[in-house]
Structure 1
Amino acid sequence: MNHVLCGLAVNTALPSELVGRLIAVADPDIAEALADRADLSREQAVDLAARVPQSAVRLAYEGLLTAADIDPVTQPQAALALLDEDSGDPDWARLFARDADVERRAKLAACPGLPDDVRETLAADPDVHVVAELASRTTADQAARLARHPHAEVRRAVAANEATPPEVLAMLVTGEGLPPVERCLVCDSEETPYTHDRQCPRLDCDLRAGASCDGSHESTVHETAEEALRNPATPVESLLRFAEHPSMLLRSELAARPDLPPKVAARLAGDPASGVRADLAENPAISEAVLRVLAADRGHDVQRRTAHNPRVPLDVLSRLAATVRIGPTLLPRIAAATPAEVAQLSTSSDPTVRMLLAARRDLPAEIRDALAADPDAKVVKSIARHPGLSETQLRAMVERHGVRVAAGVAANPDAPAALLEDLTRLVPPVWKVLREVARHPHAAGPALLACLADGRARPVAAGHPALPLQVIVGLLADDDWRVVEAAAANPSLPSAVMADLVPWTPGLGVSG
């Protein structure tokens, strides 16, 4: 791989003429990078697809190729990509619906906007994977018909389709009103009873881990229930039976439903499996009473996920903050706090509560400034990235709390170049500081040079436009390929240097 050319391929300052020259010498890696360019013209995209045929799929998905640019016979994957974007020729769909390659038919079945006759052809496909792919995305009418398909895999796919009518989803859950399932993927390939080894060593085996069939197709039936539980179109009344189901996984899926009735939520709050209670704890549909029960639950992860519930009462959250390791993350309930609640939280006697509030980035100036002067380092570390803080405030943070807050200060969007340079001079060096400075838009040459000393900051600094020109050029020969690519992608690289790096191949007629 030519890392210099791969870096140049994504350089936003690369002149159009040099883009054309890169296309003329592109290999698959360079082509992949070029396909990401926002300024790539349609003509250049056509040339790139001709130079590196496998790039046509990516270019099609990027909207740089049209149906007029693609031959479905010689470029089937690109044609399928356009169909997947609902911008291909409908006649292509009819061609692929009878393709000998089952993977192409399955890819087609996943495409939107297929003509009715194509969907009917795919619904009768001899390969169940193709029918299942169609069933997971097709229209309500066809999904209702496929719910009666004799193969369990197709019904599983119908259960995942949000277009499936609610009454049909209820039938898939209960089994009432549908003919019995006749086959599943397990009994298609193995003599039953059979349970697939989760550590199956067979390279040609495509059964899912733990798949089993004793004649009742039990693992696929279980998966159908899972899909129906996850499907928001499934009537919740048909799912309440799973509150007492022996499968913890199915009870957990029910516990996460946003339309869970209060009585069922209260019952699941006493579920013997902590995983079920933890899934319930994060459900925004549960009542305050259930949240208070779960806040006292010492089961694995229950209290932490209660703290992440957007409706948890603030007094409950404040108690949880004292006992649960949450970290300086913006909790949904904190993000939704009213101005009065923000003021209340800012004066909490618990520094952890103040830390959680400080994770907001839209605090009133007076509250932001009070938290910036907080005596507790974890509060200051959390507020350090808040926009609007002055250089004086940021320097005061570092003077009071040192390396504990230095990385947060370095990441502040308003940190000036002089402060960033001073932070890179801390002794001993703070590697997290260097990594933040390396990506900071205000960082200047001296600070960026210091960042080159850290292996993780070095590739980031190499792409910073404020890095001195001679240093950027020197990094093109660095031992670390990431640094080389970043330096080549640096928009401050002069066009004359770029031109010297791109090979010239005359006579190819590549568009500029």
Structure 2
Amino acid sequence: MKTLSGLAVNPALPARLMLRMLQPEVAADALPYLAWRADLPEQVVETFIGHHDAKVRGCFAENPHVPAGTRSRLARDPALHVRWALAAGPQWGRFQPRSTPLTEDAYDLLAHDPSIEVRCELAQNWHTPAPALIVLAVDPEPDVRRAGCSGWGRLPAHIRVALSHDADPSVRWAAGLKGYREHPGLLEEILASDDVTQVLGEAPLPRPLAESYARSDDATHRHKVAGNPYLDRDLVEELSTDRDPGVRLVVSLRPELTEAQRAAIDYDPDVYRVHVPLPWIRDRFADASAMEHFGESAHVVLRRSVACNPDLPLDLVERLARDDDHAVRLLLAEHHQDAPADLLLRVVLDDAGYSEAELTGRPHFPTVGLARFADSPHPHERRLVVLDSQTSADVIERLSHDEARSVRIAMARDPRLPVTRMLALLKDADLQIASAAAANPALPVQVMAQLVQSVVEPCMP
């Protein structure tokens, strides 16, 4: 029942109803929402940990909000799925908080877990500390040792050497991909193989090999090699006039080019989605003069990359906040927790997409006066009126009938919505709207109880 998913996140949901919802056979859709709450009462936490159903315990293992000692109790869980979930850690959305690490004892238990799957997941978790990584890097199973290469930078030198000379070729391959920069000899085995595509964009390539890919009929090969920092200048010049616009864009983003050289390339910055920040700009985040220089570049992708730096000086933040490019302004707002209030409002009014909820939730987001958007022709502006404490209940009720679904959903969650309208929305054919109404903290507790009872009772023996 979709409304239970909304009810599961309702801040006014009593603990006794949470406990009744802990029946996966009747509330499977709602379970993850309840399990991830940051405000779970102690008795609910204990019920999650001691629940008879491994699915329930597994959901709770991914809760990033509970203390390390609490989640770590699941390291001895009899169900492989639960221990795997604990080792893997929460699957993060863009703006979700990082999970608390586990205890040392829990990491040690998981590093010696009888399941290869659990040990592999732990090896790839960025939270896993060096002592546990060392155990995993010398694991008797090659799959685990190969996964352990993920934490290459946190492993001591003698362990990295051992992995580089591992008896298993797949482990040596993984170690070579991570370690060839410090030990160039490791690159030889990779270059001698039939698959060098993983290093095309970053490793020093023999001239014949570089030529073969730079002049390949396959645009994906040219695309990969176009950003290789070791590529000879003549090949860079060839690729700067490539027939494929994506290849030309990659060339235009090379770090050694001057502004004039970038401008001479016929590139479209939005021909495809470029991941920002560019690695070579990210590596220079601490260089104030570099940030100043690239923050004024005519190439918008460079400015977008600079905007991702959370430690920019105030004067550069203010300049980028006035940038003509919406993506620059949005990235700046997303990556700066203290972004100016006027910038936050502007990017939201310009349509911040999936970032809107995070940005409007900032303590300094300017909410005063948002009631003026009640009659805006733009739905993403009309739904902002719920953020203004001066918006009247009458306006909230009127907008709960809005033609735009997103506006109706926003109003359904607002506690100023009259209860009669709230109850009507609970029965809405649109399940997302019904779920939003169920999440409304002004929903009477007796109605919450009825929602739970309507699902639980038919399923009881």
Scaled by the length of structure 2, the TM-score of the pair is 0.64
**Secondary structure, aligned partner of 1:54:** helix
The 5 A counterparts of 1:160-199 are 160-161=177-178, 164=179, 166-168=181-183, 170-175=184-189
* Distance of aligned partners of 1:339 and 1:439 in 2 relative to their CA distance in 1, 3 Å threshold: closer
Residue 450 (structure 1) aligned with residue 399 (structure 2): yes
Match of 1:199?
Answer: none
Residue 147 (structure 1) aligned with residue 118 (structure 2): no
AA aligned opposite 2:374: E
Question: Which of 111, 122, 130 is residue 93 of structure 1 equivalent to?
Answer: 111
Deviations, residues 311-348 of structure 1 (Å, cap 9, x unaligned)? 5685846xx9xxxxx9xxx85578989969989998xx
- Aligned-residue identity in percent: 21
Does the CA-based 8 Å contact 1:268-1:276 persist in structure 2? no
Residue 62 (structure 1) aligned with residue 63 (structure 2): yes
Shift of 1:95: 3.9
Larger Rg: 1
Separation of aligned partners in 2, 1:358 and 1:300: 12
AA aligned opposite 2:79: Q
Question: Which of 70, 81, 106 is residue 120 of structure 2 equivalent to?
Answer: 106
Does the CA-based 8 Å contact 1:251-1:276 persist in structure 2? yes
**Secondary structure, aligned partner of 2:405:** coil
Match of 1:462?
Answer: 412
Does the CA-based 8 Å contact 2:428-2:434 persist in structure 1? yes
Q: Decide which moves more: 9-18 or 22-31.
A: 22-31
Between the two proteins, the alignment pairs up a number of residues equal to: 379
Match of 2:19?
Answer: 20
Does the CA-based 8 Å contact 1:7-1:488 persist in structure 2? yes
AA aligned opposite 1:39: D
Match of 2:252?
Answer: 281
**Secondary structure, aligned partner of 1:386:** helix
Deviations, residues 452-492 of structure 1 (Å, cap 9, x unaligned)? 33233322321123322221122111111111111111122
Residue 135 (structure 1) aligned with residue 149 (structure 2): yes
Match of 1:476?
Answer: 426
AA aligned opposite 2:39: D
**Secondary structure, aligned partner of 2:151:** coil
Deviations, residues 257-282 of structure 1 (Å, cap 9, x unaligned)? 6xx47x85685244135433312323
Residue 157 (structure 1) aligned with residue 161 (structure 2): no
* Distance of aligned partners of 1:157 and 1:66 in 2 relative to their CA distance in 1, 3 Å threshold: same
Q: Decide which moves more: 139-148 or 462-471.
A: 139-148
* Distance of aligned partners of 1:343 and 1:455 in 2 relative to their CA distance in 1, 3 Å threshold: closer
Deviations, residues 104-126 of structure 1 (Å, cap 9, x unaligned)? 4533543534275553233xx2x
AA aligned opposite 2:346: H
Deviations, residues 360-395 of structure 1 (Å, cap 9, x unaligned)? 899xxxxxxxxxxxxxxxxxxx989439xxxxxx9x
Residue 487 (structure 1) aligned with residue 437 (structure 2): yes
Separation of aligned partners in 1, 2:86 and 2:327: 47
Residue 222 (structure 1) aligned with residue 196 (structure 2): yes
Residue 120 (structure 1) aligned with residue 138 (structure 2): yes
The 5 A counterparts of 1:43-54 are 43-49=43-49, 50-54=51-55
The 5 A counterparts of 1:48-447 are 48-49=48-49, 50-62=51-63, 64=66, 65-72=70-77, 74-84=78-88, 86-87=102-103, 88=106, 90-96=108-114, 99=115, 103-110=117-124, 112-113=128-129, 114=132, 116=134, 118-122=136-140, 125=141, 129-137=143-151, 139=155, 140-149=157-166, 153-161=170-178, 164=179, 166-168=181-183, 170-175=184-189, 217-218=193-194, 221-226=195-200, 229=201, 238=204, 241=207, 244-246=211-213, 249=220, 252-253=223-224, 255-256=226-227, 260=229, 264=232, 267-271=235-239, 272=242, 274-283=245-254, 286-294=257-265, 297=266, 316=298, 331=304, 359=329, 385-386=345-346, 413-414=366-367, 416=369, 418-423=371-376, 430-437=378-385, 443-447=391-395
Match of 2:285?
Answer: none
Q: Decide which moves more: 487-496 or 277-286.
A: 277-286
Residue 36 (structure 1) aligned with residue 36 (structure 2): yes
Separation of aligned partners in 2, 1:136 and 1:13: 42
Does the CA-based 8 Å contact 2:2-2:431 persist in structure 1? yes
* Distance of aligned partners of 1:223 and 1:458 in 2 relative to their CA distance in 1, 3 Å threshold: same
* Distance of aligned partners of 1:59 and 1:442 in 2 relative to their CA distance in 1, 3 Å threshold: farther
Separation of aligned partners in 1, 2:45 and 2:186: 46
Separation of aligned partners in 2, 1:341 and 1:225: 35
AA aligned opposite 1:10: V
Match of 2:337?
Answer: none
Shift of 1:62: 2.1
Deviations, residues 83-102 of structure 1 (Å, cap 9, x unaligned)? 45553252453342xx4xx5
**Secondary structure, aligned partner of 2:60:** helix
Q: Decide which moves more: 470-479 or 78-87.
A: 78-87
* Distance of aligned partners of 1:417 and 1:313 in 2 relative to their CA distance in 1, 3 Å threshold: closer
Shift of 1:4: 2.5
Separation of aligned partners in 1, 2:319 and 2:31: 54
Structure 2: gaps (5+ residues): 89-100, 279-290, 334-341, 350-359
Separation of aligned partners in 1, 2:87 and 2:320: 55
Does the CA-based 8 Å contact 2:61-2:82 persist in structure 1? yes
**Secondary structure, aligned partner of 2:196:** helix
AA aligned opposite 1:446: D
Does the CA-based 8 Å contact 2:15-2:41 persist in structure 1? no
AA aligned opposite 2:59: R
AA aligned opposite 2:147: E
* Distance of aligned partners of 1:471 and 1:443 in 2 relative to their CA distance in 1, 3 Å threshold: same
Scaled by the length of structure 1, the TM-score of the pair is 0.58
Deviations, residues 182-225 of structure 1 (Å, cap 9, x unaligned)? xxxxxxxxxxxxxxxxxxxxxxxxxxxxxxxxxx751xx32442
Separation of aligned partners in 1, 2:58 and 2:426: 31
